[in-house]
Structure 1
Amino acid sequence: MSSSRAHVGVDLGKSRCRAVISGPWGANDLRPQRRPVYDGIGAPGLAAADGVAAALAAILPLRERLDEPISDVSVGAAGAWAAPEAASELAHGLARAMQVPVSVTSDVVSAHAGALGGGAGVLLIAGTGAAALGIDGEVATLVDGWGPELGDFGSGSWFGREALRAVLRASVGLAPTTVLTDAVGATIGGPAAIPAWLATDGPLPRRLAALAPLVLDAAESGDSVSVEIVAEGVRLLVASAVAASAGSRDVALHGGLTAHVWFRSALDRALGAAGRAVAASAGDAIDGALLLAERTDLPHERFVHRAE
């Protein structure tokens, strides 16, 4: 079906706010044309204090980048799952400000819709944080996404934390020696420098996640300590995916850790051994946001807050 409407899809995370404009496109186009329209600073999350105000401040600057009329805005926002009232408030606030219909859902819901094309299955996210969302008919289960203090098991920040623990324990003879000592030392200094590095300004989960590739590379090269850390991380991620499963066995993967070829292969094998089929991801969170703007008949609809 052809359309002359232009849609705006927004992925609002805690560190970054991205937006694209989609369409208009012609009858012979299989997919709408997308182009980036905004890339700015994110917001702390809708569940945080003044979360709605922060989200509006993060999104509204994109108005200055729009050089054509738009028909609607669809947002996947961090924190919307835990704070549905705030998500509804954000939808109404954006609709007033943008003067177009707005839909708001959780960023994990929009990512699920994008990855699985609006269908059933599990989305397993392994990035700075970690979460698994399973949607199948009337059943929807979110596992983890609890943040670095309480969860995010198998995430990049989890791997970084485990690397520092391994280095500190090895430095006092409580654990085997590991090549992580030199790898971490080249990045942040020796074991004695770790406490000061942890206290440095800047988002700690992201800084910890930046250490994750050191662990994955060391495990790939055969370092026994790193191999054990990765095996546990894979086990935790697969457990989350299985716990989020309902009727469907399909699991799509998102997140920066899955770009590591060796780690992705290990994760794929473990999911297969758990009876899950790794599905090719159909799209990203912005694809999902745009899909949810167009479709109200998807199983994700119960999590979408709409305003005009």
Structure 2
Amino acid sequence: MTESLHTRVMAIDGGGTRCRLALWTGRDVVSVETGSANVSTDFDGGVCQIIEGVGALAAKVGESAEALSALPAFVGLAGVTGPEIAERLRQALPFAHLRIEDDRPAALRGALGDRDGVIAHCGTGSFFGSRIAGTMRFSGGWGSVLGDEASAQWIGRAALKATLRAVDGRLNPSGLSRTLLDRFDGAAGIVRFAGSADPKDFGALAPLVTAQAAAGDALGRRIMADGASDIAQSLPAIGWAPGLTICLTGGIGPHFEPYLPAAMQACVSASVDEPLAGALSLARDFAREAAQ
């Protein structure tokens, strides 16, 4: 291969809400989007979304899926929890030259660019990451049952729990709790919904909570403050110190900024780019290493 900046590469960034695929043509980026691709919660579904996306991307650039599958590819997916599932994924995908990671390195690279700093990535799920003096560290990302604090699905669950506590008289009701009771036809409807809901279903409630909190709703603000507290405790554990850049990423992450301690708010900075761009950078790194 020639210098990786001029080598065509593929990148895939997938999570609980969507999967995005991109081709670096050597001149520009062409991308497509498919559905949810978390290979821990739905391995076969995630594989199908990737294969479908390769076909859509091939059609978009007027090539065969086989031609794109021959390119160096970086895959960063939610749910890649270790070597065993990574190898299973490697066997299931059509790529000839493939590097597989979870979705965290791509998000970290995309957000920070060349800077040192930390991220709190809060999408459907959540995790925390840092890059300091070239070393990456991560925490969280353990899924909806055992972790994903401050994620969209965590916010949705917390809002439903708070609403039921308001029904019990353990918390004061608010506009948020009344809205949720109306939406689900009372407490029994909330319980029915929660019994079959997946993380994406819970996460769909998060925009209501963030909007209510921004308007001053007490329960909404309490939920957001609890999530921000988790972020504030997690970032120092992976190396954050005052003065170091913080990026709040994912669909929900930026909404936590007003609830963070003042020292952290002072360090919040806009992301350089999105996770898909980070995945493309990692794909170029992979191509460069393969060329050597």
What's the counterpart of residue 238 of structure 1?
232
Deviations 1:132-167 (A, max 9, x none): 012324643322112222221122122212211221
Paired amino acid for 2:30: R
Q: Shift of the alpha carbon at 1:83?
A: 0.9
Please tell me whether residue 290 in structure 1 is matched to residue 280 in structure 2: yes
What's the counterpart of residue 51 of structure 2?
60
Deviations 1:78-115 (A, max 9, x none): 233x2134325544764xx344x322222111111111
State whether residues 10 and 75 of structure 1, in contact with CA within 8 Å, keep that contact through their aligned partners in structure 2.
Answer: yes
The size of the alignment, in residue pairs, is 280
Please, which moves more after superposition, 157-166 or 215-224? 215-224
State whether residues 157 and 208 of structure 1, in contact with CA within 8 Å, keep that contact through their aligned partners in structure 2.
Answer: yes
Q: Shift of the alpha carbon at 1:128?
A: 1.7
What's the counterpart of residue 124 of structure 1?
120
State whether residues 10 and 74 of structure 2, in contact with CA within 8 Å, keep that contact through their aligned partners in structure 1.
Answer: yes
What's the counterpart of residue 73 of structure 1?
73
TM normalised by structure 2 equals 0.81
Paired amino acid for 1:83: G
For residues 55 and 167 of structure 1, the distance between their equivalents in structure 2, rounded to whole angstroms, comes to: 33
Match of 2:272, SS? coil
For residues 106 and 193 of structure 1, the distance between their equivalents in structure 2, rounded to whole angstroms, comes to: 35
Structure 2 gap ranges (5+): none
What's the counterpart of residue 218 of structure 1?
212
Please tell me whether residue 196 in structure 1 is matched to residue 192 in structure 2: yes
For residues 208 and 63 of structure 1, the distance between their equivalents in structure 2, rounded to whole angstroms, comes to: 29
State whether residues 181 and 190 of structure 2, in contact with CA within 8 Å, keep that contact through their aligned partners in structure 1.
Answer: no
Structure 1 gap ranges (5+): 26-32
Q: Shift of the alpha carbon at 1:241?
A: 2.1
For residues 54 and 214 of structure 1, the distance between their equivalents in structure 2, rounded to whole angstroms, comes to: 28
Q: Shift of the alpha carbon at 1:177?
A: 1.9
Match of 1:142, SS? strand
Cα separation, partners in 2 of 1:84 and 1:172, compared to 1, 3 Å: same
Cα separation, partners in 2 of 1:118 and 1:187, compared to 1, 3 Å: farther
Give me the CA root mean square deviation. 3.3
Please tell me whether residue 115 in structure 1 is matched to residue 126 in structure 2: no
For residues 5 and 224 of structure 2, the distance between their equivalents in structure 1, rounded to whole angstroms, comes to: 47
For residues 55 and 92 of structure 1, the distance between their equivalents in structure 2, rounded to whole angstroms, comes to: 14
What's the counterpart of residue 23 of structure 1?
25
Higher helix share: 2
What's the counterpart of residue 151 of structure 1?
147
Cα separation, partners in 2 of 1:231 and 1:8, compared to 1, 3 Å: same
TM normalised by structure 1 equals 0.77
